[in-house]
């Protein structure tokens, strides 16, 4: 089943985000290589594809896992969680309808 994982950035965490980004992207690439990643990306803090110093409000990852517990464990081990980029996270089942 797919799970939507949302992380909300901590205030002032842009430098931490950028430092942890390569390791975060490597984990997402592994999910993609396994054919389990549906979509992933950051949510800019302002209405712009390049928010500059405004940074990001958080991130969304939708990926396939065998259970919600497995999805939660994957997210808990992510560098953005480990390095306090995210202030809050949530994991919810996701049912893909379109496209």
Cα dist from 93 to 38, 41, 70, whole Å: 13, 18, 12
How is residue 57 annotated by DSSP?
E
Q: Give the pLDDT score at 31.
A: 98
CB 75 within 8 A of CB 89: yes
Cα–Cα dist 61/2, whole Å: 10
Q: Point out the residues of the chain with pLDDT beneath 50.
A: none
pLDDT digits (tens, 9 = 90+) for 60-70: 999 999 999 99
Q: Give the pLDDT score at 40.
A: 98
3-class state of residue 58 by DSSP: strand
């Amino acid at each position: 089943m797919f799970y939507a994982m949302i992380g909300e950035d901590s205030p002032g965490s842009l430098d931490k985000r950028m430092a942890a980004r390569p390791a975060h992207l490597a984990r997402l690439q592994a999910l993609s290589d396994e054919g389990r990643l549906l979509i992933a990306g950051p949510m800019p803090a302002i209405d712009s594809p390049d928010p500059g110093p405004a940074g990001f409000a958080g991130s969304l990852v939708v990926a396939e896992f065998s259970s919600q517990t497995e999805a939660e464990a994957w997210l808990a081990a992510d560098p953005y969680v480990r390095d306090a980029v995210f202030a809050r996270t949530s994991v919810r089942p996701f049912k893909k309808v379109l496209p």
